[in-house]
Amino acid sequence: MTTKYATIDPTTGEVVREFPTISDDAATQALSQAHSAYASWRDADIAERAAVLARTAELYRKHSTELAELMTLEMGKPIAQAKGEVELSASIYEYYAVTGPQLLADEKLDIAGTGTALVRTAPIGALLGIMPWNFPYYQVARFAAPNILLGNTILLKHASNCPQQAVRIEELLVEAGAPTGVYQNVFVSTDQVADLIADFLLQGISLTGSERAGSAVGALAGKHLKKCVLELGGSDPFLVLPGADLDQAVKAAVTGRFGNAGQACTSSKRLIIEESLWDDFLERFTASLEEWAPGDPTSEGTRLGPMATISGRDELAEQVDDAISKGAIVHAGGKTPDSKGAYYPATVLSGVTPAMRAHHEELFGPVAVLYKASSVEEAITIANDSPYGLGSAVFTNDEDISAQVADRLDVGMVGLNTTIKSAPDLPFGGVKNSGIGRELGRFGLDEFANKKLIRTL
């Protein structure tokens, strides 16, 4: 299957620049080069590997405006949010440069027998990363940084609609001192991805993307006995319960749902409000949307830009239209603008039922679905009624309630009086259909590592 790599301005839908898919021979050669580079990179002093990451962080900060502008051009992220992502990415490279080496120290085991034993965290070889467009620098950083430090080498297949960013990521790592073959951007097709996974030289695959893509890649990885990490979709619950500070909850809910035009796996997609708080929360929430009118993403004051693609916007509109046609209530938005580009308004729905697509599908755009819960118990039930289990947020100042709810949510991450915000030293990942594995922190160093036992008598 051919993959078309192109910069398409989401504010107009116009093609700005196209890039060719590489040949089958070039894809095979790239993997061979990654494998050859691994032989020496794994033996490089860890200080050398850390120094590459430290210089990468410096270069991200040096070129912050340029990198952010490319992001705004290719996927429509408002420029202020884009600059924030560049800084987050730099902080990840910096974290592994500074803290990573000590996390890789040998672990001595307290054993019953004679002699000594330790576990050494060692690399495994060439890896393939398959990354999405919604956080184009951050998603790559959280995969690449720990593995480059560990001594693995990387082929990176980025999303087809952010090719210029993909090229710049490779250029910056090379400028930072990464030897030839340690990190390579590859514009490969779906069929070529399958061939790479089948090749015995490749040792692991990390994919961040849709549930459908994760299922396909996971099946191939299993068939060829390759380690994989799958960070997939989410339909994160945001619970507002007795004892909540409503000003705090509303502010977090609006930003958590509509930041990045709602195109985040950990976006607060399902707002579950205890019935005594429903009217007040709904009024404040919808009133806050005045500050989230769609606008020019190149303007520093814009909070809500276009969605990344017109096709994604149209899919979201179909999900909303389906809900409305089956009785959902629209409190704000809900109509596709009659204008160029992939714009969609901040939308609020309630009365969503299992008969509607919006109930069980991920809404990957600026649409919030509100559910009224008669009790804390019902709020938990609604929250867990999803095939996904990525992040969550629980707003209440009642410590007994927050402790109970945090333990019972079927998710990988819980925020108490906060939404899930990524940080270099915090593990990221989910359960159920939200994926397999963890990234960031020390956990990001363990996924593609050989935990090698060394026993001495």
Task: Give the CATH superfamily of 237-424.
Answer: Aldehyde Dehydrogenase; Chain A, domain 2 (3.40.309.10)
Confidence of residue 397 (pLDDT cuts 50, 70, 90): very high
Residue 231 is among the residues annotated as catalytic for this protein: yes
How far is it, in rounded angstroms, from Cα 58 to Cα 47? 16
Q: Is 222 exposed, middle or buried (0-12, 13-18, 19+ CB in 10 A)?
A: exposed
Q: What percent of the chain has pLDDT over 90?
A: 99
Per-residue pLDDT for 37 more than 80?
A: yes
For 287, residues 6+ apart whose C-beta sits below 8 A from its C-beta are: none
What ranges do the domains of the chain cover? 5-232+434-456, 237-424
How far is it, in rounded angstroms, from Cα 288 to Cα 220? 45
Question: Would you call 226 helix, strand, or coil by DSSP?
Answer: coil
pLDDT, tens digit (0-9, with 9 covering 90-100), for 172-224: 999 999 999 999 999 999 999 999 999 999 999 999 999 999 999 999 999 99
For 323, residues 6+ apart whose C-beta sits below 8 A from its C-beta are: 349, 352, 356, 357, 358
At residue 3, the pLDDT reads 76
Question: Would you call 203 helix, strand, or coil by DSSP?
Answer: strand
Greater model confidence, 1 or 200: 200
pLDDT, tens digit (0-9, with 9 covering 90-100), for 290-331: 999 999 999 999 999 999 999 999 999 999 999 999 999 999
Rg, Å, the chain Cα set = 23
Which of the following is catalytic: 74, 231, 274, 362?
Answer: 231
At residue 351, the pLDDT reads 97
User: Mean of the per-residue pLDDT values for the chain?
Assistant: 97
Per-residue pLDDT for 149 more than 70?
A: yes
Asked if 298 and 397 touch (Cβ cutoff 8 Å), the reply is no
Per-residue pLDDT for 30 more than 60?
A: yes
pLDDT, tens digit (0-9, with 9 covering 90-100), for 335-375: 999 989 999 999 999 999 999 999 989 999 999 999 999 99
At residue 2, the pLDDT reads 61
- CA dihedral in degrees (100, 101, 104, 106; nearest 10)? -150
In DSSP terms, which residues pair with 453 in a beta bridge? 119
How far is it, in rounded angstroms, from Cα 172 to Cα 167? 9
pLDDT, tens digit (0-9, with 9 covering 90-100), for 330-345: 999 999 999 899 999 9
Per-residue pLDDT for 22 more than 80?
A: yes
At residue 244, the pLDDT reads 97
At residue 339, the pLDDT reads 86
pLDDT, tens digit (0-9, with 9 covering 90-100), for 76-108: 999 999 999 999 999 999 999 999 999 999 999
At residue 231, the pLDDT reads 97
Residue 265 is among the residues annotated as catalytic for this protein: yes
Query: In the structure encoding, which two tokens stand for residue 99, read together?
Result: 């803290």
User: How much is the average pLDDT of 239-246?
Assistant: 97
Per-residue pLDDT for 1 more than 60?
A: no
pLDDT, tens digit (0-9, with 9 covering 90-100), for 250-290: 999 999 999 999 999 999 999 999 999 999 999 999 999 99
At residue 113, the pLDDT reads 87
Find out if CATH 3.30.420.240 is the number for domain 5-232+434-456. Answer: no
Which of the following is catalytic: 265, 274, 362, 447?
Answer: 265
The amino acid that residue 179 corresponds to is: P
Asked if 165 and 139 touch (Cβ cutoff 8 Å), the reply is no
Please state at what angle helix 190-198 crosses helix 211-223, rounded to 10 degrees: 30
- CA dihedral in degrees (92, 98, 104, 106; nearest 10)? -160
